[in-house]
Amino acid sequence: MIKISNIYKSFEQKEVLKNISMEFNKGETNLIIGRSGSGKTVLLKSIVGLLEVDRGKIFYDDRDFTSMNLKLRKKLRQEMGMVFQGGALFDSLTVEENIRFPLDMFSMLSSAEKQKQVDFCLDRVNISDANKMFPSEISGGMQKRVAIARAIVLNPKYLFCDEPNSGLDPETSILIDELVHQITVDLQITTIINTHDMNSVMEIGDNILFISEGEMCWEGNRKEILSTDNHKLQEFVFANKQYQKIRDDKINE
Amino acid sequence: MNIFNQAGKYFALMAKVFSRPERHSLYVRQTFNEIENLGIKSVGIVAVISVFMGGIMTLQVAYNMINPLLPTTLIGLGNRDSLILEFSSTIMGLIMAGKIGSNITSEIGSMKVTQQIDSLEIMGVNSAGYLILPKIIAVVLIFPLLYILSVFFGIVGGLIVGPAVGAVSAADYLSGIQFGFNPYYVTFSLIKCVVFGFLIASIAAFFGYTVEGGAFDVGTASTRAVVNTSIMILVSDLILTQLLL
Ligand SMILES: Nc1ncnc2c1ncn2[C@@H]1O[C@H](COP(=O)(O)OP(=O)(O)OP(=O)(O)O)[C@@H](O)[C@H]1O
Ligand SMILES: [Mg+2]
């Protein structure tokens, strides 16, 4: 479980996050949604500590992350995995070396055990025959999957994904969403995903935080989202006419 | 940008670079990779440039010796001392600032803008230490070796060009390069090389690590890294020469 309370963050004069509080549950896919530029990435980066918040507190299972020193944070980070918007694979390393990197850095496993874990993770994200390829030689969807494999190789307790399916076709997007959802449920981890993709919201939105211009506007789950009476959220959700139709069908039923 | 601000950030980064590594074995492996990538791959250009410069300086010394009473052995000696004192250390340093420096800045800079550095940080890796320390160690180790190679190839260059154009006989050239040899000059230059090696790797890494933006900014950072390193090399050359010679 991750809890954030009263988070503020600004860059110079510009206030990007204003008083955001939320609980992200374990074993669920927690979504942060909002328009482009609403502050999703800044919020996610603040939660993991890549950005320092100006005010507010962040708790990882009751451990106060905001007051930790660098050493304690580094320790805690070994329990985190993160998938970045562009994948952020190390382009000088092969697929297999990318996934093994966290193990080489932090685990005491023998190299046979490491190999087993790498193979397990590759299998988990349905990748085969790409072990020796470099990131530049595989497709964007595959890069995302490799990034997911790398993020879960140390059996994290917390998984963060910044727009895991941006730039992917709808079919692959759904596969990636399902993959992250499955991993979250199977491993009982706390997952936070940034997205502005309504398909993802309807597929895997167990617990949703909607932010608009850096302010929290709404929270709920995918069942509640279509019947919302929050205007800003309505604008966001029904920008795609398809969902208007789904809602109207539901009402008529 | 404010120069003191920049210098402060540079020293803060260096403090991060020199903090304790998570896994020594990985750092050692990286260092060997960097020695190959930055060092071995520079041998060719060092050899070519040094042969040419040795040849050119031999000719310059020869043409400037208009007084027939001066022994032609001075030609070899002149070339040798220019190489040992300035060319193979300082001029080579400036050339390496361009070659090795821009390589380091663009590599680290692209990792920065594609969030590979954030990835390392999220894993709990000290990204500055892991990426930069092996490069600094590698360049500090190899630069003195490149210096020795450069002196050697520069002398060979003079030996080829001098006799070929009839400026000096091979025998006079060879006895010239052995005449009045002061080993302290070499020690002095090796010290300079260690300093230059550190400046080249650390300043280039600093500009790469602090890039914000995209590919364009990485290009700008590379240029700025080379310019700043070159200035720092010349400034430290001036200081070291005053202090040590
Ligand atoms: N380092 C920074 N310095 C200054 N302003 C920033 C910085 N990072 C983000 N911002 C600003 O914060 C706001 C929110 O940006 P953010 O990247 O979080 O948006 P986002 O919701 O992730 O959008 P997208 O869906 O396009 O990724 C933007 O207006 C952006 O200009
Ligand atoms: Mg974003």
- The string of pLDDT tens digits covering residues A168-214 is 888 888 888 998 999 999 999 999 999 988 888 998 999 999 999 99
- Residue at a domain's end among A155, A178, A195: A155
pLDDT, averaged across chain A: 91
Largest interatomic CA distance in chain A:
61
* Distance of alpha carbon B129 from alpha carbon B126, whole angstroms: 5
Confidence of residue B152 (pLDDT cuts 50, 70, 90): very high
Q: Report the pLDDT value the prediction gives residue B186, as an integer from 0 to 100.
A: 94
Which residues sit with Cβ closer than 5 angstroms to ligand 2, an ion? A 41
pLDDT tens sequence across A20-29: 999 999 999 9
H or E, element range at B212: none
Closest CA to B19 of B122, B108, B127, B129: B129
Q: Report the pLDDT value the prediction gives residue B1, as an integer from 0 to 100.
A: 63
Residues of chain A with a CB closer than 8 angstroms to some CB in chain B = 45, 48, 50, 73-78, 80-82, 84-86, 88-91, 101-102, 104-106, 154, 160
pLDDT at A42 exceeding the cut of 90: yes
**In a shared domain, residues A116 and A69:** no
Q: From the list B118, B125, B126, which residue is nearest A88 (CB)?
A: B118
pLDDT tens sequence across A213-251: 999 999 999 888 888 888 898 888 888 788 888 778 877
Q: What is the average per-residue pLDDT within A136-163? A: 93
In three-state secondary structure terms, B46 is helix
pLDDT tens sequence across A61-88: 989 999 999 889 989 999 999 999 888 9
pLDDT at B66 exceeding the cut of 80: no
Residue nearest to atom 24 of ligand 1 (CA): A36
**In a shared domain, residues A26 and A63:** yes
**In a shared domain, residues A248 and A130:** no
**In a shared domain, residues A167 and A72:** yes
- Residue at a domain's end among A155, A173, A194: A155
Q: Report the pLDDT value the prediction gives residue A248, as an integer from 0 to 100.
A: 81
Q: How crowded is the C-beta side of A172, counted as CA atoms within 13 Å? A: 14
CB B160 within 8 A of CB B55: yes
Q: Residues of chain A with pLDDT > 70: what percent?
A: 100
Please give the residue range of the domain that contains residue A106: 91-155
> Which amino acid is it at B4?
F
Q: Report the pLDDT value the prediction gives residue A113, as an integer from 0 to 100.
A: 95
Residue at A86 is within a domain: no
pLDDT, averaged across chain B: 94
Residue at A84 is within a domain: no
Confidence of residue B167 (pLDDT cuts 50, 70, 90): confident
Closest CA to B150 of B204, B192, B90, B201: B90
First and final CA of chain A: distance in angstroms?
Answer: 37
Residue at A85 is within a domain: no
What is the dihedral angle through the alpha carbons of A148, A154, A157, A161, rounded to the nearest 10 degrees? -20
CB A90 within 8 A of CB B116: yes
pLDDT tens sequence across B194-214: 999 999 999 999 999 999 999
Residue at B2 is within a domain: no
**In a shared domain, residues A178 and A99:** no
**In a shared domain, residues A60 and A178:** yes
Ligand 1 contact via A121 beta carbon (within 6 Å): no
**In a shared domain, residues A107 and A207:** no
For residue B227, report the distance from its CA to the centre of ligand 2, in Å.
34
**In a shared domain, residues A233 and A244:** yes
Here the CATH number for the domain that contains residue A242 is: 3.40.50.300
Please give the residue range of the domain that contains residue B216: 23-244
Q: Report the pLDDT value the prediction gives residue B64, as an integer from 0 to 100.
A: 87
**In a shared domain, residues A164 and A247:** yes
Q: Specify the number of domains making up chain B.
A: 1
**In a shared domain, residues A74 and A97:** no
**In a shared domain, residues A167 and A213:** yes
The structure's pTM equals 0.90
What is the dihedral angle through the alpha carbons of A229, A232, A236, A238, rounded to the nearest 10 degrees? 40
Residue at B32 is within a domain: yes
* Distance of alpha carbon B121 from alpha carbon B61, whole angstroms: 55
**In a shared domain, residues A63 and A186:** yes
H or E, element range at A23: strand A14-24
Tokens in use for A228? 């919302």
Residue at B120 is within a domain: yes
The Cα angle at residue B212 between residues B209 and B218, in degrees rounded to 5: 70
For residue A41, report the distance from its CA to the centre of ligand 2, in Å.
4
Tokens in use for B13? 């980064």
pLDDT at B15 exceeding the cut of 70: yes
Q: Residues of chain B with pLDDT > 90: what percent?
A: 87
- Residue at a domain's end among A115, A137, A155: A155
Q: Specify the number of domains making up chain A.
A: 2
